[in-house]
Copies of this chain bind each other. A is one copy, B any other.
Amino acid sequence: MSVAFTEVRHLKSRVGEEVALRGWVRNVRTSKTRFIDLRDGSGFVQCVVGAAEADPASYETAGQLTQECAIALTGLVQTHPKTGEPEILVKTLQLLAGSVDFPITPKDHGIEFLMENRTLWLRSKRQWAIIRIRHTISKAIRDFFDEDGFTLLDAPILTPSACEGTSTLFSTDYFHEGVAFLSQSGQLYQEPGVPAFGKTYCFGPTFRAEKSKTRRHLTEFWMVEPEMAFAGLEDVMQLGERMVKFILARVLTDRVEELKILERDVAPLEAALNLGFARMSYTESVAKLKELGSDINWGEDFGNDDETILMNAMDRPLWVHRFPKSFKAFYMEYDRENPDLAMGADLLAPEGYGEVIGGGERAIDMQYLLDQIKHHGLDQKDYEWYLDVRRFGGVQHAGFGMGLERAVAWICKLPHVRETIPYPRMMGTLRP
């Protein structure tokens, strides 16, 4: 057909007109009249093929359609009397490409089978909705930082040294230079951008060779990491809150259909958008956790269970701040009021989701940093360029990292991060 095709997303403005569509058949119910669930990637629409309205050959073809075959059709856009959604009264219909025994049927499949057939699973309504929300979150993040005057400073994936210990790092041979590690974080590469650009961010894939299988861990995941000059812990919490609210506002406005497909109760998201985020010091949250039945002791890092317990009790995101220095990274600034504490803050998401943001103020005192590098068993010569940030106009600065997939999991209310990314990578999952 040499006609102009319409995308399903535009049908609402075409009611009463004749249009041409093309897409894939999700399902056909065949009685005297044939009902086709059509998907074209931009949306879903029911197409009705009746013997009276369709030409005989098209009516015949419609009776033989199989799941996931591709078709083109023409017909009248009308409004479904019950749902109020557009539907198509088909006039002509043509098979473009066949499909025999599509493996994922409307019946239930095990997660292993779905993961193995990830490329086909992406065609399901639920996966379509998740990936579209992921896209919107991703774009909202970039729009937020761009509008705020941050400069994009892409961090490298291939890095020469193991910035935070080698135990969870992937590595590769790199010519004569020896080994390169796949980056776990772009932060150290953002800090030199501070005196150059004032405010920077990176947003790209990062890697952790996590040997544990949990519902929160991927080996390859996307992280956004802003860094600001002349900023401290308070600025980190304010920036993170503004960013999360910017994302929520965008998703709640632009992804209504997708949230409905996921049957996501939007009330908790609206609460997070409209309420001020809660704040609690690490010390206060340990007391709270004990009240809630956790066996955590002061000085220990939260386990996943602790985060879940804490966040089941919250109606909004929570900043936990000022952790014991002992389990935080070498580059964290210490609290002038209590040198055992690090000026860090993590944002925990409600509804039992845990950490989505981790950040804080960076140490700028040269001697303190040198001591920390030694204390953590790191090699100073690997960090000379990082120390240069302090040597030459080293001002207070701070930033954070947010894992995209954890944000997607929370906003979509998914039980597992494996559905938050098109092609998840975990221990045991490298295909397709």
Cα(A158)–Cα(B118), bound, Å = 15
Cα(A118)–Cα(B127), bound, Å = 42
Q: Is the CB of A392 within 8 A of B41?
A: no
Which residues of B sit under 8 angstroms from A427, Cβ to Cβ?
175
- Pick from B25, B156, B170, B196: contact of A128, CB below 8 A: B196
- Given contacts A68-B393, A392-B68, is CB(A24)–CB(B154) below 8 Å? no
Which segment of A79-87, A186-194, A270-278, A323-331 sits at the interface?
A: A186-194
- Pick from B69, B160, B222, B389: contact of A154, CB below 8 A: B222
A239 within 8 A of B: no
A120 within 8 A of B: yes
Q: How many copies does the complex hold?
A: 2
A77 within 8 A of B: no
A-B CB contact pairs (8 Å), 20 listed: A7-B149, A7-B198, A23-B198, A42-B197, A70-B393, A70-B394, A100-B391, A119-B192, A131-B153, A139-B146, A139-B152, A156-B422, A172-B172, A172-B182, A174-B219, A175-B211, A175-B427, A189-B422, A189-B423, A204-B204
Give A174's nearest chain B residue, CB to CB.
B430
- Given contacts A9-B149, A195-B68, A430-B177, is CB(A425)–CB(B156) below 8 Å? yes
Cα(A7)–Cα(B156), bound, Å = 28
Q: Is the CB of A196 within 8 A of B122?
A: yes
Cα(A68)–Cα(B132), bound, Å = 45
Query: A residues touching B (Cβ–Cβ < 8 Å)?
Result: 5, 7, 9, 22-25, 40-42, 68-70, 96-100, 102, 117-120, 122-123, 127-128, 131-132, 134-135, 138-139, 142, 146, 149, 151-160, 170-177, 180, 182, 189, 192-199, 204-205, 207, 209, 211, 219-220, 222, 229-230, 364, 385-386, 388-389, 391-395, 421-423, 425, 427-428, 430-432
Nearest chain B CB to A394 CB, angstrom units: 5
Q: Is the CB of A431 within 8 A of B160?
A: yes
Q: Is the CB of B7 within 8 A of A120?
A: no
Which 9 pairs between the two chains have the least Cβ-Cβ distance? A41-B198, A119-B192, A70-B393, A385-B432, A135-B152, A156-B423, A99-B392, A41-B197, A68-B392
